[in-house]
Amino acid sequence: MGAVSTRVKTFAAAAAAAGLLTGIGACASSSDGAAGAEADGPTVLVQDQRYTPAEITIEPGETVTWIFDDAGTAHDVTSVTESKKDPKLLDSGLLMTGEWSFTFDEPGVYEYFCDAHPEMEGTVTVTE
Ligand SMILES: [Cu+2]
């Protein structure tokens, strides 16, 4: 029995060395990052008075989900527009918790900021 379990451990070590377990590790860590969220796609964490990551690049049709979690401070996601009269593509409204998602169908560079904290800025780049 002792010999068998030794062989099993050896196999696991060999598999890890061969990179077979690397993919599993990567999956586990990415789902940890989205813990508590059901978002299926790129996410931006709204925390510590900033967006993380502040710049994100996606493909057309992808949905970005902002996760609001800043210890009771409300933030939003508002499009930067040339004039205040321009319609805002992104306008999440102020949120302290929860999520807000937007699906980007058209290629382009979408700049946004927090209406309550204009120094908070982020960019979503949608590739061609
Ligand atoms: Cu804010």
Q: pLDDT value at position 72?
A: 96
Instruction: Pick one of 2.60.40.420, 1.10.1530.10, 3.30.300.130, 3.40.1010.20 as the CATH number of 38-126.
Output: 2.60.40.420
Residue 117 Cα to ligand 1 middle (Å): 4
**pLDDT-derived band at 6, boundaries 50, 70, 90:** very low
- Would you kindly state where each structural domain of the chain is located, as residue ranges? 1-33, 38-126
- Top pLDDT among 12 and 124 is at 124
Ion ligand 1: residues, Cβ under 5 Å: 75, 114, 116-117
- In DSSP notation, 29-82 reads HHHHHTTT----S-EEEEETTEEESSEEEE-TTEEEEEEEESTT--B--EE--S
Query: Distance from the CA of 25 to the center of ligand 1, in angstroms?
Result: 34
Mean pLDDT along residues 111-117: 96
Q: Summarize pLDDT for 52-107 with one digit per residue, the tens.
A: 999 999 999 999 999 999 999 999 999 998 887 788 999 999 999 999 999 999 99
Number of neighbours of residue 65 by Cβ within 10 angstroms: 18
Ligand 1 centroid – CA 9 distance (Å): 50
- In angstroms, the first-to-last Cα distance of the chain is 59
Q: How far is ligand 1, taken at its centre, from the CA of residue 95, in Å?
A: 9
Whether the upstream peptide bond of residue 53 has omega within 30° of 0, thus cis, is yes
Cα 121 to Cα 24, 49, 52, 58, distances in angstroms: 34, 10, 10, 17
Query: The whole model's pTM is what?
Result: 0.69
Name the average pLDDT for the chain.
Answer: 80
CA of 76 to the centre of ligand 1 (A): 6
Q: Has residue 31 got a pLDDT over 80?
A: no
Q: How far is the centre of ligand 1, averaged over its atoms, from the C-alpha of 120 (Å)? A: 6
Quote the ligand 1 centre to 82 CA distance (angstroms).
Answer: 20
**Residue 52, CB-side half-sphere exposure with 13 Å CA sphere:** 11
